[in-house]
């Protein structure tokens, strides 16, 4: 198992649209395990392959309080979403230290393949639904800060570009 390095906003690779997974092999299992290890190590509740610079439709998550219910969703498709929405405080391992409210569907149904290539369906609500929508956005090359105002996004982008410049000087 290995810890993977997570791309940091505003890295252009975060805007890559992921391709469907077609090979259900040992490499895919290792990638999913490494992503789960990376997510737990970073205290995250989700992680999309895009964030570790792998542009395939794969997400891992665990929104349980006990942190003992890992889920791997391959080629996820949103098949239903409630009209009712909620505004939850979101964070992102690719935008560390930034938290803000984003409006999302409160309940969703998602169809996906498991690591054996078997089709599964999941009804999710509240934090789990928010997390799945956030991770599916990553697979489309979208980062949650894109839902914030132009001013907030500009400030966040400047802050991260400044930190990047500083790090490259050190």
The pattern of x and - marking residues 99 through 138 that bind ligand K1U according to CB under 6 A reads -------------------------------xx--xx---
Q: CA 119 to CA 37: how far, in whole Å?
A: 24
46 pairs with which residues across the strands? 61
3-state helix, strand, coil in the chain (%, to 5): 35, 25, 35
* Terminal C-alpha separation, the chain: 30
Instruction: Single out the segment in contact with ligand K1U by CB under 6 A; choices: 19-27, 43-51, 105-113, 148-156.
Output: 43-51
3-state secondary structure of 12: helix
**43 part of the interface to ligand K1U, by CB under 6 A:** yes
65 carries an active-site annotation:
no
CB within 8 Å of 19: residues ≥ 6 apart: 55, 56, 57
**46 part of the interface to ligand K1U, by CB under 6 A:** yes
- Half-sphere exposure in the Cβ direction for 162 (13 Å, CA): 6
Task: Give the nearer residue to ligand K1U in terms of CB position, either 47 or 72.
Answer: 47
Task: Give the nearer residue to Zn ion in terms of CB position, either 119 or 153.
Answer: 153
117 binds, among ligand K1U, Zn ion, none (CB under 5 to 8 A by kind): none
Q: How far is the CB of 142 from Zn ion (least distance, A)?
A: 10
Among 143, 108, 142, which Cα is nearest to 123's?
A: 108
List 37, 65, 135, 146, catalytic entry: 135
Binding positions for ligand K1U, rule: CB under 6 A: 43-48, 51, 89-94, 130-131, 134-135
Binding positions for Zn ion, rule: CB under 5 A: 92
């Amino acid at each position: 198992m290995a810890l993977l390095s997570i791309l940091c906003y505003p890295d252009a690779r975060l805007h890559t649209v992921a391709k469907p997974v077609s090979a259900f092999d040992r490499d895919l299992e290792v990638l999913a395990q490494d992503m789960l290890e990376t997510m737990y190590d970073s205290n995250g509740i989700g992680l999309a392959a895009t964030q570790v610079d792998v542009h395939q439709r794969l997400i891992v998550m665990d929104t349980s309080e006990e942190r003992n219910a890992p889920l791997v969703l391959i080629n996820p498709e949103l098949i239903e979403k409630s009209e009712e929405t909620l505004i939850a405080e979101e964070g992102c391992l690719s935008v560390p230290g930034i938290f803000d409210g984003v409006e999302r569907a409160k309940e969703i149904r998602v169809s996906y393949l498991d690591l054996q290539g078997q089709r599964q369906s999941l009804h999710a609500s509240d934090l789990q639904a928010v997390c799945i929508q956030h991770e599916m956005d990553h697979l489309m090359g979208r980062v949650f800060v894109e839902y914030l105002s132009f001013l907030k996004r500009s400030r966040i982008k400047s802050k991260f570009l400044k930190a990047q410049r500083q790090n490259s000087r050190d």
